[in-house]
Amino acid sequence: MRIKAALAIALSGTALLLAACDKGPQEPTGAASADAASDVAGPSDDASDGLASPAAATSLDTGALSERRDPERLLRYYVSAIREGDWASASKAWSLDAEMTPRKLETELGGTAVPRLAVGKGDMEGAAGSLYYEAPLVVDFGDGRPSKRGTIVLRRVNDVPGASGQQLNWRIERTSTLTQ
């Protein structure tokens, strides 16, 4: 009897997940954004343009660029930099191999309104001497462009002897929604 109950619960959860995946793009609401973002990084309603103010630029957690334990800290930094339109700071969150530049980010995300990024809770796994953190990503544009959905993948070398400081820090390796 317990096996049947557990199977029924598992199947109903799978059905809910499949139903959620089948939904088209929706404008996130405060409650939906909080659930989707799991307090990692969410949209901001206070940004009205893509220009960063000097006060905003100093509010970024630059210590996140040296983070080795918590990949979500780097994601919060990245989302904050994008929200502020600080393309140079946002590009620092990317790995050197990704060759992401401030200009590439601005071309992809810039526009007449600051985009809203929501990053969900991700999963971490190890492979071939590296740790990977993959999380769902939603990019909503405030200028009428359609939303983008996909994943964002962070990577760091897993304390391998001879690894550089840069390799040991979490960095964005790729996304499924941004041109790299």
Domain that holds residue 78: 37-175
As a whole-number percent, the residues of the chain with pLDDT over 90 amount to 53
The pLDDT tens digits of the residues spanning 109-154 come to 988 888 999 999 999 999 889 999 999 999 998 888 899 999 999 9
What is the rounded CA–CA span in Å between residue 93 and residue 77? 8
The string over 100-125, giving b where at least 16 C-beta atoms fall within 10 Å of a residue's C-beta and e elsewhere, is bebebbbebbbbebbbbbbbbebeee
Asked if the structure places residue 26 within a domain, the reply is: no
86, part of any domain: yes
Mean pLDDT value across the chain: 75
What is the per-residue pLDDT for 54? 40
pLDDT of residue 42 exceeding 50:
no
* pLDDT band, residue 58 (cuts 50/70/90): low
72 assigned to some structural domain:
yes
Question: Is residue 22 in some structural domain?
Answer: no
Total domain count, the chain: 1
Asked if residue 23 is part of any domain, the answer here is no
Short-list 40, 98, 121, 117, CA closest to 73: 40
The model's pTM is: 0.68
Asked if residue 113 belongs to a domain, the reply is yes
Whether the per-residue pLDDT at 83 is higher than 60: the answer is yes
Strand partners, 117: 139
Query: What tokens were used for 40?
Result: 């990692």
Q: Please report whether residue 12 resides in a domain.
A: no
Establish if 29 belongs to a structural domain.
no
162-180 pLDDT per residue, tens? 999 889 999 999 999 843 2
CATH of the domain at 81: 3.10.450
